[in-house]
Copies of this chain bind each other. A is one copy, B any other.
Amino acid sequence: MEIITHSIYLRTQGHNEIHNFTPQILQLLQESSLKDGQVTVFAIGSTTGITTLEYEPGLVKKDVRVMLDKIAPYEKSYLHNQTWGDNNGAAHLRSCLIGTSYVCPFVDGQMLLGTWQQIVFIDFDTRPRQRNIAVQFIGLSDS
């Protein structure tokens, strides 16, 4: 059994920007000799999110935004903003709701994802950020 941990760095603009970084995860899996196991994807930061999504412009550019703008609007007055002279209360709430951690199994070197199912990172913050996503594989080299 092996444990291999990588960092993926992303430069983002925030404001619910959605990144598909599934290709990087697949490449890291291929570069390892692991056959069976799981990958844990963990977004570091309290204004980030990890989920799965069909990565197509309708959902990515508009539909997910409209849903989350209704649940936790950016322009609303949050106690978080008043307390800290901040403006990203909505970003914290979206992160709390969507979550920052995802675990996906792989078998015989193949991730068990659906055809249209991509692992995505969402930056909910209100300013450009340099982000760090931990990608940790736990698995066996030989099935």
Contact = CB atoms under 8 A, between A and B. Distances in A.
A89 B63 contact: yes
Range of interface residues on A (Cβ < 8 Å): 35 or more
A5 interface: yes
Contacts of A80: 54, 56, 58-59, 63
Interface in A20-75: 36-38, 40, 42, 44-46, 48, 51-54, 56-59, 61-64, 67, 70-72
A7 to B, nearest CB: 9
Interface in A71-96: 71-72, 78-84, 89, 92-93, 95-96
Contacts of A48: 114
